[in-house]
Chains A and B, each alone.
Chain A
Amino acid sequence: MKTSIKRSKEDLIFDIINYTVLTLALFVVAYPLYFIVIASISDPDAVNNGLVWLLPVGITGEGYERIFQDSRIWLGYKNTFIYTIVGTLINITLTMMIAYPLSRKDFSGKKFLMIFLMITMYFNGGLIPTYLVVKDLHLNNSWWVMVILGAVSVYNVIIARTFLQNNIPEELYEAASIDGCSHFVFFIKMVLPLSKAIIAVLTLYYGIGHWNEFMRALIYLRDEKLYPLQIILRSILVQNMSQDPMMGDVENAVEMARIGELIKYGVIIVASVPVLLLYPLLQKYFVQGVMIGSVKG
């Protein structure tokens, strides 16, 4: 009896600490995100003077108006959209195509191919040798480099392979092959339809990767017309070039600085909207992906 009282008392203290710590973590993560949202629709002077804490002050859509007028942002948006869609399609196709043979127990090249893939996880040529290859292939400063580099990730191949191993019974192919079904037909007619869940996971993994891609564009793209959103974002958020240099419609430096501050918040929101819209889906499938990956890394 005594021990159970002692236990419940200790547990109560634990619970109080536990909930406090988690609430604190919740607040620390959520507040900056929330602040960006309210600051994006507040009067920039109020934000700069520290008047915006919990609710937006002097609500204005000026920032968003400016953003939508900025041709660079639209172009970046369009480019990123294309890179994401085409790139992800290539990713999924190649990943599933190699994951299927690797998932088959009777495939003779399985062991060799796995080693072939694993080596690239730990050893790579590095920045310049890769750059030279891209240059030799004339992919430098072209649209292609954004969709082809990173076309297959070994980690994702392993996730897909594990999924196929667990979800496509070996006998299914044996049965189909008796009816004269080839691996190609089996792959397209049986494997892909049965892999919707893993394709969703891969789409999101790869898709987010493309949407957030920055380094590849920094290294390989020179032509401004090809710039993805993240490069535009950098010039606005990090390099403080909020105004399109071509557009000299803002009268003075003070006003320009004010607008600069204002659009920063809005730009973060605008750039994150597609991800935010997908977030409920993302969370479910990404978590699934981590689980599959952790079962057999």
Chain B
Amino acid sequence: MQGIQKAKGERSLRSQIGKKQKVHKQSFIKKIIKTVKKDYQLYLLALPAIVYFILFHYWPMYGVQIAFKDFIAVKGITGSPWVGFKHFERFFTSFQFWRLMKNTLGISIYQLVAGFPIPIIMALLLNQTRNKRFKKVVQTVTYAPHFISVVVLTGMMYIFLSPRNGIVNQFIGLFGKDSVFFLGDPKYFKSVFVFSGVWQNAGWGSIIYLAALSGINPELYEAAKVDGATKLQTIWNIDIPGIMPTAVILLIMNVGRIMDVGFQKAYLLQNSLNVEASEIIATYIYKIGLLQSQYSYSTAIGLFNTIINIILLVSVNKIAKKVSDTSLW
């Protein structure tokens, strides 16, 4: 008797739950229909871009699996056999590995150390110039190289650094020194790479700091004036703390890209004489992948590169959050 009642109770309970779920489901579907009805036009507007990202960003992400396969063109991405970490192991044990790491990290750390502070210094100095016209001229001229293409930039470097008649060597010649083959000597490659970048982008990079400086509360400057602060003291105590959050964010972003040394410039500056210093991960991926058609191996190297970047980005972001309360997310 009791058993039957229990069973009945359970059944009714179950049917009640079922009804509730049904009602819930219905309202959920209704909600979706309602939202879609309200927003379908907005979704349609976004659709072309969504399709673009699916095709050219998410579909390639699906293709990343060939890093763990032996890609065979006729079998396609899905049909090719799995090989595990074979390509990664091959990369880690190849003689190229340490050279690529050394060159890539060497260039990008050098770039960070030399290239990061210069726009900040420029912005601080520009911010202190009273002469509006001079400021404008400096800005106009130093922003300009940013718009030059990498091909033109490297072309200019070949011209200016030519050991035969480049103006840099003519200048060195004035002091009775022998001319230097900057682009044919691995020793100079990093410096040439980094400082051409500084030449091209330092002025442009200062804009964002100038924007941050213009956002500082003017009362602070007035108070500093009343207190008799010198310009240097003003920079140190007001300007630098004022641009700190901007600098930290940019630093995080830069560190997150530390393995991405610009392919184009390295590729264009590379020649058989300096290849020892100029072969970086990006140029190697290109050569292995497109020139030698080792698709899986090249993809594995690329994936390794991306993963290192993400790890760096996340950890620097965490550190920055702890240390300075500024972070990307």
Contact = CB atoms under 8 A, between A and B. Distances in A.
Interface string A264-287: 110110011001000100110011
B53 A104 contact: no
Contacts of B152: 233, 237, 268, 271-272
A52 B263 CA distance: 34
B203 to A, nearest CB: 7
B147 A128 contact: no
A102 interface: yes
A132 B264 CA distance: 21
B278 interface: no
Contacts of A290: 207-208, 211
Given A10-B232, A97-B49, A264-B159, A183 B61 contact: no
Interface in A124-146: 124-134, 137
A148 B246 CA distance: 33
A128 B66 contact: yes
B50 interface: yes
B168 to A, nearest CB: 10
Interface in B134-183: 134, 137-145, 147-152, 154-156, 158-160, 164-165, 167, 170, 173
Interface in A47-92: 47-50
Given A125-B57, A183-B45, A279-B144, A29 B249 contact: no
Contact of A126 (B42, B156, B249, B302): B302
B165 A48 contact: yes
Nearest to A219: B290
Interface residues of A, number: 92
A18 B155 contact: no
A290 B228 CA distance: 34
Nearest to B262: A215
A29 B142 contact: yes
Interface string B57-87: 1111111101000000000010000000000
Given A10-B231, A127-B290, A133 B246 contact: no
28 contacts: A4-B228, A15-B128, A22-B129, A25-B138, A35-B160, A48-B164, A97-B46, A98-B46, A100-B42, A107-B39, A116-B53, A123-B61, A124-B60, A128-B289, A128-B295, A129-B61, A133-B60, A212-B147, A233-B151, A233-B152, A238-B154, A267-B155, A268-B152, A271-B152, A275-B148, A282-B147, A287-B207, A290-B208
Interface of B: 35, 38-39, 41-46, 48-50, 52-53, 55-64, 66, 77, 122, 125-126, 128-129, 134, 137-145, 147-152, 154-156, 158-160, 164-165, 167, 170, 173, 199, 202-203, 207-208, 211-212, 228-232, 246, 249, 256, 263-264, 267-268, 285-286, 289-290, 295, 298-299, 302-303, 305-306, 309-310, 313
